[in-house]
Amino acid sequence: MTFSIPGLAVARGIAIGRAVLVGSSRVDVAHYFIEPHQIASEIDRVRHGRNAVVEELQRLQGEMPTDAPHELAALLDVHLMLLQDEMLTSGVKHWITERLYNAEWALTTQLEVIGRQFDEMEDEYLRERKADLEQVVDRILRHMKGVPAPVAPPVASPRRKTQQDLLLDDTVDVPLVLVAHDLSPADMLQFKKSVFAGFVTDVGGKTSHTAIVARSMDIPAVVGARAASQLVRQDDWVIIDGDAGVMIVDPSAIILAEYGFRQRQIELERERLARLRHTPAVTLDGCHVDLLANIEMPGDAAAAVAAGAVGVGLFRTEFLFMGRMGNLPDEEEQYRAYREAVEGMQGLPVTIRTLDIGADKPLDKQHRDDSLNPALGLRAIRWSLADPAMFRTQLRALMRAAVHGQVNVLFPMLTHPREIAQTLAQVRLARAELDARGVLHGPTRLGAMIEVPAAALMVRHFLRHFDFLSIGTNDLIQYTLAIDRADESVAHLYDPMHPAVLRLVSEVIAECRLQGKSVSVCGETAGDVSMTRLLLGLGLKSFSMHPAQILTIKQEVLRSDTRKLAPWAQQMIDGEDAAPPQAA
């Protein structure tokens, strides 16, 4: 029976495919596709893990004191029984052999399948055995962590399938749609290499970092779809409507035909927009606008160039540091990554932001921040200043990369004048360290993110110390309106058009223009076509966004007249709910 699950639209487009559920294990596991020749070794890894747990439990049984509670012995028996269960072993083998899931993914998928059967049991005692099964699988996963896993092979992205393709080809090469309770930004990066046509999560807000990485993958995505991962079953046919923010499960033939048609229209629109690639972004009244790219990995530079970006406005370097179990990249590794991005941009400027770890971007699941308000805690520049050696390692790598092209270094979340002074002192020290080692380095322009209200309010002080500013609207909205950007339950209050936010953005832009310094917006509003005219009206001339959004924004710029937009933008700041001027 067809039903739909509403959520928040985060990445546009339509995906039609079969659901792949990703179980949310308490252990940090990787999910990736293996090559057929790895099937036997993956099955072996599970067998070894399981045998190790069996031995461990048998040893515990043997060592159990005679006066131990009877329930404890019974529990160990249950765990041993679950470990030998045929459904677990044969199910895991099935996912590895038939779907080419890696061992950990196969285990968590089968856990989900059996777990649902437990949920449906009448008998309460049996229903509660689900928790035992989860413990047993966690134990196997922990054992397997000690066994090196093969490196995930990158798989080429499939061509987007139309409804016609699907009807002709129901069994082979069907697009896969990922459905999960939650995915960390690091998980998303892992999936960036894979073949998914779209994804849905139960939790998350529109500008959560998971949503941001999804957008960078340019595949339809819906977050905050509440119980999606409970309601959808492995292999269900689903449609993701990334424009409306809804997932349709088990669609009827008529719905499939309608969405197939829309998919084709989107494809045609993309082809039409591609013609704008070499057209300069100039408004009707002759204002030149810079459209820059946001990237997460050095390899993303290729997509930025292909989309016609005039540079990188934000390279979020934290993704180089995440999911490495504390083994952070050294100066050499970072230098190579930054150099790759700089060279990939073929002479265009690259703005690289120093580490912005913390809040919804933990280094890895082991280091989850359990402080009361992580978004107000040790995050971004605060983290870097708390670990100056790590900070200077990154700064040195950036200065070395600047030998190969124009590098702008951007500092996230600066708030206090004292932090500015400390940051600049570290920059001087890093340069002196390179000089002392006799290592070649290049000149860098230094910039600050404006993403907390305090920074916006003291923009003049910032401009005394920095060459350029970049407004991070994702956080500026979060901190101005006191709305957690990652919390779907308050997503309806997260308002980029709130007059207080617009006032702060407008004042920062105006002050930069007055002082002849460059300013851009690199938050998600820069790539949101419904915000383009308002930002132009506020005087913005530089927008940084995911490469996939550049051509849509360029089309809007080409149709705009900033002379007509400025008075309307002023009305919006004054809190008047005015409609945008016609033909502007």
- Residue carrying structure tokens 């990922």: 178
Rounded least distance, CB 360 to ligand PEP, Å: 9
Rounded least distance, CB 337 to ligand PEP, Å: 17
Rounded least distance, CB 185 to ligand PEP, Å: 9
Among the listed residues 202, 296, 419, 475, the single contact to Mg ion using CB under 5 A = 475
Residue 523 site contact among Mg ion, ligand PEP, none (CB < 5 to 8 Å, cut-off depends on kind): ligand PEP
451 near ligand PEP, rule: CB under 6 A: yes
Phi, psi dihedrals of residue 210, rounded to the nearest 5°: -65, -45
**Coil, strand or helix: which one is 275?**
helix
At 313, list the tokens. 């406005």
At 79, list the tokens. 């765990």
Query: H/E/C letters for each residue in 174-229?
Result: CCEEEEECCCCHHHHHHHHCCCEEEEEECCCCCCCHHHHHHHHHCCCEEECCCCHH
Which stretch in 114-122, 152-160, 341-349, 445-453 sits in contact with Mg ion by CB under 5 A? 445-453
- Give the Cα separation of 257 and 239 in Å (integer): 11
What ranges in 387-545 are assigned the alpha helix state H?
388-401, 417-437, 453-457, 459-465, 473-481, 499-514, 532-537
Q: Could you say which residues in the range 522-551 bind ligand PEP, by CB under 6 A?
A: 522-523
Residue 293 site contact among Mg ion, ligand PEP, none (CB < 5 to 8 Å, cut-off depends on kind): none
Distances from the Cα of 174 to the Cαs of 156, 162, 171, 196, in angstroms? 14, 11, 6, 10
Number of residues counted as binding ligand PEP (CB under 6 A): 11
Question: Residue 104 or residue 296: which is nearer to ligand PEP going by CB?
Answer: 296
Rounded least distance, CB 351 to ligand PEP, Å: 11
Q: What is the x/- site pattern for Mg ion, positions 403-442, by CB under 5 A? A: ----------------------------------------
Phi, psi dihedrals of residue 125, rounded to the nearest 5°: -60, -45
Among the listed residues 218, 360, 451, 556, the single contact to Mg ion using CB under 5 A = 451
Per-position DSSP letters for 110-138, written without gaps between them: HHHHHHHHHHT-S-HHHHTHHHHHHHHHH
208 near ligand PEP, rule: CB under 6 A: no
- Give the Cα separation of 512 and 149 in Å (integer): 50
316 near ligand PEP, rule: CB under 6 A: yes
- Give the Cα separation of 87 and 118 in Å (integer): 13
Phi, psi dihedrals of residue 539, rounded to the nearest 5°: 100, 10
Give, in degrees to the nearest 5, the angle at Cα 440 between 438 and 444.
125
Rounded least distance, CB 61 to ligand PEP, Å: 50
31, 143, 441, 522: the active-site residue? 522
Residue 414: CB partners within 8 Å, gap ≥ 6?
381, 420, 423, 448, 449, 455, 462
| DSSP H or E run through 444 | strand 444-450
Per-position DSSP letters for 324-361, written without gaps between them: STT----HHHHHHHHHHHHHHTTTS-EEEEPP--BTTB
- Give the Cα separation of 149 and 201 in Å (integer): 26
Question: Residue 53 or residue 452: which is nearer to Mg ion going by CB?
Answer: 452
Among the listed residues 384, 474, 480, 560, the single contact to ligand PEP using CB under 6 A = 474
- Give the Cα separation of 7 and 489 in Å (integer): 11
Look up 498 and say whether it is catalytic. Answer: no
Which stretch in 46-54, 114-122, 283-291, 469-477 sits in contact with ligand PEP by CB under 6 A? 469-477
| DSSP H or E run through 520 | strand 518-521
Strand partners, 448: 411, 469
Look up 209 and say whether it is catalytic. Answer: yes
Rounded least distance, CB 521 to Mg ion, Å: 12
Rounded least distance, CB 34 to ligand PEP, Å: 32
Among the listed residues 194, 201, 473, 555, the single contact to ligand PEP using CB under 6 A = 473
209, 404, 441, 546: the active-site residue? 209
Question: Residue 15 or residue 413: which is nearer to ligand PEP going by CB?
Answer: 413
Q: What is the x/- site pattern for Mg ion, positions 281-320, by CB under 5 A? A: ----------------------------------------
At 120, list the tokens. 């449906």
Residue 123: CB partners within 8 Å, gap ≥ 6?
none
472 near Mg ion, rule: CB under 5 A: yes
- Give the Cα separation of 272 and 380 in Å (integer): 40
360 near Mg ion, rule: CB under 5 A: no
Q: What is the x/- site pattern for ligand PEP, positions 334-373, by CB under 6 A? A: ----------------------x-----------------
Residue 242 site contact among ligand PEP, Mg ion, none (CB < 5 to 8 Å, cut-off depends on kind): none
185 near Mg ion, rule: CB under 5 A: no
Residue 487 site contact among Mg ion, ligand PEP, none (CB < 5 to 8 Å, cut-off depends on kind): none
Rounded least distance, CB 300 to ligand PEP, Å: 14
Which stretch in 53-61, 414-422, 443-451, 512-520 sits in contact with Mg ion by CB under 5 A? 443-451
Q: Could you say which residues in the range 116-145 bind ligand PEP, by CB under 6 A?
A: none
Find out whether 376 and 410 touch, Cβ atoms under 8 Å.
Answer: no
Question: Residue 259 or residue 411: which is nearer to Mg ion going by CB?
Answer: 411
Q: Which residues are catalytic?
A: 209, 522
Residues in the site for ligand PEP, rule: CB under 6 A? Answer: 212, 314, 316, 356, 451, 472-475, 522-523
Residues in the site for Mg ion, rule: CB under 5 A? Answer: 451, 472, 475
